[in-house]
A and B are shown apart, each in its own frame.
Chain A
Amino acid sequence: QKEVEQNSGPLSVPEGAIASLNCTYSDRVSQSFFWYRQYSGKSPELIMSIYSNGDKEDGRFTAQLNKASQYVSLLIRDSQPSDSATYLCAVRSGGFKTIFGAGTRLFVKA
């Protein structure tokens, strides 16, 4: 059974701080990794994808991948109250089927 594990939270950070969201996965042959943001009552929105070890930066977001440790993370710099949402980690091993984690709720306090 392929699994993607996330801490459900809530993770609470003050405005302007760095929020760190973590995810582990069980399938060693996983090739593609994604972070989605989901606001309450809305559908998931893709915010980052990463395919090779290391860091990938996009604005205030940085995705980090360590395949040896089967670990992927998302850093949000200068967190804003508008970043308050549930963040879903997703992993694809091959083909098109993507496995989603249960999500981490982030709360940014103004």
Chain B
Amino acid sequence: SAVISQKPSRDICQRGTSLTIQCQVDSQVTMMFWYRQQPGQSLTLIATANQGSEATYESGFVIDKFPISRPNLTFSTLTVSNMSPEDSSIYLCSAPTGQNNEQFFGPGTRLTVL
């Protein structure tokens, strides 16, 4: 499977600010996924990042709050905008990089909003 990296690995931010998380895959992939995982909870899909078109957002998530870019087949960014303490979570990037399109995950970005 391909290697998926994320930056930053963690950050502490003030409320009202924005943070952009980067995800890099070392091979070309059709789709990239952004998840949120709050402490002790399972994965919640935020959106699917499609190359060359708008991201597809899940119910409860909107583009104004979580704008996504997908400039090419190996890279995507997720921005968490106008942050509040409720946005404190781990944000995970994922892509179907396995031989049978199994999903693999990046190491995650741990975000704390004060």
Contact B104 A96 (CB under 8 A): no
Do A34 and B108 contact each other (CB < 8 Å), given the known contacts A88-B43, A97-B48, A102-B42?
Answer: no
Residues of B within 8 A of A49 (CB): 98, 100, 102
Do A32 and B100 contact each other (CB < 8 Å), given the known contacts A43-B92, A43-B105, A43-B107?
Answer: yes
Interface residue from A42, A44, A51, A103 paired with B100 (Cβ < 8 Å): A51
Residues of A within 8 A of B96 (CB): 96
Interface residues of B (CB under 8 A from A): 1, 30-31, 41-43, 45, 48, 90, 92, 96, 98, 100-108
Contact B98 A46 (CB under 8 A): yes
Chain A contact residue count (CB 8 A cutoff) = 18
- Identify the interface centre among B48, B101, B103, B105: most chain A CB within 10 Å of its CB: B103
Some 27 contacts from A to B, beta carbons below 8 A apart, are: A32-B100, A34-B102, A34-B103, A42-B107, A42-B108, A43-B105, A43-B106, A43-B108, A45-B105, A46-B1, A46-B98, A46-B102, A46-B103, A46-B104, A49-B98, A49-B100, A49-B102, A90-B103, A96-B31, A96-B48, A96-B96, A96-B101, A97-B45, A97-B48, A98-B103, A100-B42, A101-B42
